[in-house]
Amino acid sequence: MRNISKMTTLENKFPLLAIEGNCIISKDADVTAVYRVELPELFTVTASEYEAIHSTWHKAIRVLPHFTVVHKQDWFLKENYHSDIQKDEVSFLSRSYERHFNERPFLNHECYLYLTKTTKQRMALQSNFTTLCRGSILPKEIKDEETVLRFLESVSQFERIMNDSGFIILKRLNASDISRKGGLLERYFTLGGKRGTPLKDIAFGADEVKIGDNILCLHTLSGTDYLPSRVSSDSRYEKLSTEKSACNLSYFPTRRSSDLL
């Protein structure tokens, strides 16, 4: 009996073409610069500092050219804390602290920022029309060199503005950080936080998407009706606030690496 099932390889459907000049090049000729982001610690930022951070984001995004996509990605991975209490120079209090939290679960937070230069035609596409749904990928012509150079110059200016703020640190990922074994791409495809996680089967079903034994749970905002009518750079966190002092949180996630459960 002839097998008529439609099977293909991940490489065929993979939307990325290459990594050149520390940028990700897609098969649709989009150019992406990737950064690792260090954010302020949770509950350490005041209302005025939140306003300054918001102004910095606004100023930095305005230097980017038209049809640039800014994608901030936050990874929250549940891990166990492993303390290092064998060091001789560790004080008594530090050693007691490490023993107290040793092997306790916590949410390890990593943040990445993707700046992608695309085209007017690509920006008009709907989110449900992706390379995973299409039967073929039709690459477009690579943009002219001048356009790419202007984009990279604006990306460098974006990085300087953010780093000069004193609140957020951006570190540009190079080709090795992205594509090497245990790098960003491999961790993305395995949903793994540990280096050297083995590759797993990816299954796209009618009701679910699985990577190995992990089932993806996706939450999507499909319209502005789901957003609040009013937003601000920060909000008061009542559980930790008092009459004389306010504890503020922001709509921009702060680093959660110290949130022990």
Give pLDDT tens digits along the chain (261 positions): 455 556 667 677 778 888 998 999 988 888 999 999 999 988 888 889 999 999 999 999 999 999 899 999 988 888 888 877 666 677 778 778 788 888 888 888 899 999 999 887 766 665 555 555 554 444 444 556 788 899 999 999 999 999 999 999 999 999 999 988 778 888 887 877 666 667 778 887 888 888 888 888 888 877 888 877 777 888 888 888 888 888 888 864 444 444 433
Please check whether residue 118 is in contact with residue 30, taking contact to mean a CB–CB distance below 8 angstroms.
yes
Domain-by-domain residue ranges, the chain? 10-78+106-179+219-250
Place of tokens 């609140």: 167
pLDDT for residue 70: 95
CA dist 71 and 61 (Å) reads 11
pLDDT for residue 181: 78
CA dist 162 and 56 (Å) reads 6
Phi and psi dihedrals of 41, rounded to 5? Answer: -65, 145
